[in-house]
Structure 1
Amino acid sequence: MLAGYFALSPRMADHDTPPRLSPRLFDPVVGGGLGLYGGVFGPGMGSFSAAAFAGLRGFNMRKATACTKPLVLVANVTSMLIFVAGGHVLWALALAMAVAQFAGARLGSNLVIARGAALVRPVIIAATVAIAVRLLLR
């Protein structure tokens, strides 16, 4: 369903559209919902966040993607602290992933800035479908 929204919605573009929710309502309701979802499940949180920013706040895909990243960071850091406290972290693997994540973030953010919705939209659709298929096969 989310992949279909990204594929078909005219709000998933390189220009801002009129907001459907004010920050006063969006922040606690959508932020709280995304935080709960990210804490309990995790997969797809970035896609849901980008869709919410574009669909409900009217942000263009570049801005929606940029606003999504700090939210996902907060969710991941929160989970990380809980797993570190429980002694469940494989530090060598975590370090290798952190280095690769830094390189990927530099490349990805530059691509998003340069190409906007033309890049973001198909990548989010493909990732959302892949996550959904993976979850269904489990």
Structure 2
Amino acid sequence: MSTAAEYVEQNSMFALRYTEQFTRQRRKQVVDPYDPDNTTSGDWTDTDDLAVCGALTSLTSVEQDDATRSEAISTAQFVSDNPGIDVQRGDRIRSSDGRKWHVVGYPTKDMNAFTGWRPTLVCNLEEVIG
């Protein structure tokens, strides 16, 4: 084995050892009531769901209280060893315990510039309660 490309080629079975089942939720497209020629995203009561496996890593959790309400904002990252899964900005990731995280920004599928290897998909998530 003399090059990084040969190493990756011989050891291409990259997999996260401990993952959990999540559900990717995407709002269905509906006819825009103000412009019937176009569509817009519907609400979260009717979603296209897709089972995805990955790992969730908590980043921050902040409590914001004011005179009228109390709000908790948490951020996390979702990592999957399947960079081909269909997750987009605006989707929601639901965990088995019922928590719902919104995908913030664009998911990344980083590539090794020397080998072309794309091992993961990474999504930044945010959950707002309150």
TM range, smaller chain: under 0.3
TM-score, normalized by length of structure 2?
Answer: 0.23
The structure with more radius of gyration: 2
TM-score (norm 1): 0.22
Greater helix fraction, Structure 1 or Structure 2:
1
Higher percent of residues as strand: 2
Structure with bigger RCO (C-alpha 8 Å, 6+ apart) = 1
